[in-house]
Amino acid sequence: MQKKRTAALGVLLGASLSVTVTLLVLEGRWREAIPLHLCSLSALAALALAFSPRQFFLDFLWYLGMPGAALALVFPAPAVSRCQALLDASYVVTHALILVIPACCMACGMCPQRGKSPVMMGTLLIIAAAAGAVNRRLGTDFLFLAAPPAGTPLEAVFAAGTVVYHLFLFALMLTLCLLMDALAGWQKRRK
């Protein structure tokens, strides 16, 4: 029964992602639909996890996706659209499901592996390198490497300079990965 619920959540996530991509493409902003933001990649990992429970997807979501989605819900920065209400709803649903789908898988007995912080940080650095290259080529701002999302506390850090901003982003993600690693260890000890 739980697997059917998780698959249903996957269908909802797929629909939410389709709304976002469709709106961006219809508005001629297809470049923004390239999945190189952490939450875009996390949404794809959550979608895959909903239908095919694989350890890598759960670990990616535990260490990177879930903390990133939680921050995105606390400090929302959805794209601007002519259909803003629809895009905002899609934003909230997508980010919430990045949290809910792995939680459902954990409720079914899957556990994030402890000690994956270095692997996940390495994965994030590879994604950041790809995002940086695409940003330079297409003039995009994937992973918010060129500038922070408007209206977030990252704007204050960015004011100190690009190098400080990039170091802060790295330190923030490393701290979150280490925290999630500690939580994974605590969760194992509880069982």
52: Cβ contacts below 8 Å, ≥ 6 apart: none
Query: Taking a C-beta distance cutoff of 8 angstroms, is the pair 145, 166 a contact?
Result: yes
pLDDT of residue 191: 53
Distance CA 180, CA 183 (A): 5
Q: What is the pTM of this model?
A: 0.93
Q: Which residue has the tokens 């590879």?
A: 126
What 8-state DSSP symbol labels residue 54? -
Sign of CA dihedral 81, 92, 21, 67: positive
Sign of CA dihedral 22, 41, 48, 76: negative
Give me the tens of pLDDT residue by residue for the chain, a chain 191 residues long.
Answer: 678 899 999 999 999 999 999 999 999 999 999 999 999 999 999 999 999 999 999 999 999 999 999 999 999 988 889 999 999 999 999 999 999 999 999 998 999 999 999 999 999 999 999 999 999 999 999 999 999 998 899 999 999 999 999 999 999 999 999 999 999 977 656 55
Q: Tell me, what amino acid is at 188?
A: K
Q: Tell me, what amino acid is at 27?
A: E
Q: Which residue has the tokens 């249903």?
A: 8
pLDDT of residue 187: 60
Distance CA 61, CA 41 (A): 9
Q: Token pair of 118, please? A: 């270095």
Q: Tell me: the pLDDT tens digits for 128-160?
A: 999 999 999 999 999 999 999 988 999 999 999
pLDDT of residue 2: 76
Element (H, E) at 34: none
